[in-house]
Structure 1
Amino acid sequence: MLSAMKSAASDCPVYRITIPGLLRAKGRPRFGNGRTFTDAKTVQAEKHIQRHAIEQIGKPCLTGPLQVSLTIRIAPPPSWSRKKTADALAGRILPTSRPDIDNQMKTAADALNGIAWKDDAQIVDAALSRRYGAESLTVIEVRQI
C-alpha cells in the first residue's frame, strides 16, 4: 500500500501520488452567514486528491521541511489537428491557458494536509511543471529534507 521509493540523492523516501484527470484550481473563498467557506467544486476536487493519496501512500503525515514536485499533464483538445497535437506532445507547444499553476498547487497542497504532511506550510521547496501529455493527470512527489 505504501508507495515510497528511495531517492538516489538521500535516504529519505519519496512519496509519489498520481491523480487522474485535470487538477482543478483552488476556488476563491465564499462568504455567507458571517462565515467563510470553500466552494463545493473545490471541496470535491480536494476529496478526489485525498482518496487517491490515501490509496497510494496511506497517511504518512510527514513532519519537518518538505520538498514537493507537482507535474501536471494535460491531454490536448480533441479538436486540435494531428500536427498540432503532435507538436504539443513533443513539447513544442506549451499549455499557457488557465487555470494558473500556482492555484492548482494550492488545491493539491490543501488537500494533502493531514495526509501527506501535517500542514502545507512545511513545504519549503516546490517544483511546478505543466505540459501536454497523452492523458490528463497530476503526479505529486513529496520528500522530507
Structure 2
Amino acid sequence: MLGEVNLDMPHSGSSTDRFSAQRIAGGDVLLEVYDSASVHGMAKQSLLIAKNNIPKFIDWLEKDISKLTYNRKVQLTFLGEPVPQGRPRTTIVKGKIIVYDPVDSRKYKQLIKYQAYHQYKDKPLEGQLRCDVKVYRSIQASTNNKQRRLKEQGIVRPIVKGDIDNYFKAVTDPLSKIVWKDDAQIVEGFISKYYSENPRIEMTISQV
C-alpha cells in the first residue's frame, strides 16, 4: 500500500459516512466504504478499482453513492402500553362523510410519532422495507406468581384482543414522513405478542 486518504461524504439520503481509498501496487485503488448506520456498528465493504477506471468510478460515486450501502437497519423502541388500532369512526360534516380515529388510537399514534422524532434523526428511508414488530403488553395485576413468571419468560403469550394486525397498523401509520416516506413501502413484515413488566413495542426496519 502506498498511502491512504479519508474523505467525509455528504449523507444526501445515504447511510454512507466515510470511505478510505488505498493505492496499491500497479496503481489500482482499494476502496473501503464504511456505514455507521449498521446496527452492528461500523460495517465495511471493499471494492477494487482498476487505475484506468478510477475517473469513471469517481463520476459514478458522486451521482449515486447510495448504491454502496445495503440492508440498512433501524431499531426503535416505543415505551408505554401498546394500543391497537381502533375501529374507525364516522361523522357527517356539511353533507360529507368524515372518517376518523377513535380517541385512544389518535392519542397513541401521537405518542408513537413523538418518540419516533426523538429516536430517528435521519432522512426518511426510501425503497422496499421489511418491518418486524414485537408487542409487549402489561401483565395483568391479578396474575399469580407462577403465571407471572411464565408470561415474563414468553412461555405464556397474549391470546386476548387486540389483534396483531391492529397493533401493526397502530405503530406503522404514524411513522410516515418520519422514518419512511410512506408505509406503502413496507413489503414484508412480522409481528408477535408477548407479556412484560415493561410494556412497549420494539420495531426493526430493514431495507430489502
> TM-score with structure 2 length normalisation?
0.63
Residue 128 in structure 1 maps to residue 191 in structure 2: yes
Following superposition, the deviation at residue 59 of structure 1 comes to 5.1
Q: Which of the pair is proportionally richer in strand? A: 2
Cα deviation, 1:5-32, whole Å, max 9, x if unaligned, reads 4358x84331111111122111222211
Structure 2 Cα separation of the partners of residues 41 and 4 of structure 1: 34
Cα deviation, 1:79-121, whole Å, max 9, x if unaligned, reads 1111110111122211110010110100111111111111111
Structure 1 Cα separation of the partners of residues 159 and 193 of structure 2: 9
Residue 27 in structure 1 maps to residue 90 in structure 2: no
Match runs of 1:34-45 below 5 Å:
34=96, 35-45=98-108
| Secondary structure of 2:192's aligned partner | strand
Q: Which runs of 5+ in 1 are unaligned?
A: none
Match of 2:162 in 1: 99
Following superposition, the deviation at residue 4 of structure 1 comes to 4.5
Q: Which runs of 5+ in 2 are unaligned?
A: 1-35, 44-68
Identity %: 27
Match of 2:206 in 1: 143
Flag the structure with larger Rg: 2
Shift of the 22–5 alpha-carbon distance from structure 1 to 2, 3 Å rule, reads: farther
Alignment partner of 1:115 out of 169, 178, 185: 178
| Secondary structure of 2:203's aligned partner | strand
Residue 6 in structure 1 maps to residue 39 in structure 2: yes
Structure 2 Cα separation of the partners of residues 134 and 38 of structure 1: 28
Across the aligned residues of Structure 1 and Structure 2, the Cα RMSD in angstroms comes to 2.0
Following superposition, the deviation at residue 133 of structure 1 comes to 2.0
- Matched positions, count: 142
Looking at both structures, which has the greater relative contact order when contacts are Cα pairs under 8 Å and sequence separation is at least 6?
1
Shift of the 89–12 alpha-carbon distance from structure 1 to 2, 3 Å rule, reads: same
Which deviates more, 26-35 or 10-19? Answer: 10-19
Aligned partners of 2:109 and 2:171 also within 8 Å: yes
Alignment partner of 1:76 out of 139, 145, 152: 139
Following superposition, the deviation at residue 38 of structure 1 comes to 2.0
